[in-house]
Structure 1
């Protein structure tokens, strides 16, 4: 696949809950988010930009999608990713399946 210019890449906004990092997660979630963003940047670099941050507002979903400064609905993101032969359900499953590995790497397990 040809690499898309940054302004055409879909942004995957991944909000990490402190609780997934254990009882002291609140002390680590900001640093972990930065590390996770660097690690995830290697996944689908041709068409995804990752934005990983703590999930401070529980009203916001764990995953959101956007292009540029515009948020996309899940249906819009699904159509965009389908055009890139990447089913959104598969992408989301890969993210959540990879999270325990990222946590283990962060804590040096």
Structure 2
């Protein structure tokens, strides 16, 4: 199946990734909002033809770390995997790439 890229916003996969303040160290809560803004800008271009990124602090541990939505509907892991497969991506590789990118961004943000 072929798609005209970039997709309209409502058809894109919205990936919400919630970042734990603790990943920025003991005073991470003081920096998490700024880091999330920085990270959002840094990942905005990744797969931007079919993905919309939301990087936000994870203050509520009852919320999933990663959440997928499209067309106003929440997707489970299997549905997200199916969506990504239409663009030649595997969910595992997609999530691993995001985790690696965020680790790099944390190191850069903290000046490591």
TM range (shorter): over 0.9
Matched length: 109
**Alpha-carbon distance between aligned partners in 1 of 2:56 and 2:78, rounded to the nearest angstrom:** 23
**Alpha-carbon distance between aligned partners in 2 of 1:105 and 1:43, rounded to the nearest angstrom:** 18
Choose from 35, 41, 44 the match for 2:44: 41
Equivalent residue number for residue 104 of structure 2: 101
**Alpha-carbon distance between aligned partners in 2 of 1:100 and 1:9, rounded to the nearest angstrom:** 25
Matches within 5 A, 1:1-109: 2-109=5-112
Q: Which runs of 5+ in 1 are unaligned?
A: none
Normalising by structure 1, we get a TM-score of 0.93
**Alpha-carbon distance between aligned partners in 1 of 2:98 and 2:11, rounded to the nearest angstrom:** 21
Q: Which runs of 5+ in 2 are unaligned?
A: none
Residue 99 of structure 1: how far off its partner (Å): 1.5
**Alpha-carbon distance between aligned partners in 2 of 1:102 and 1:43, rounded to the nearest angstrom:** 14
* CA distance 1:68–1:35, change in 2 (3 Å): farther
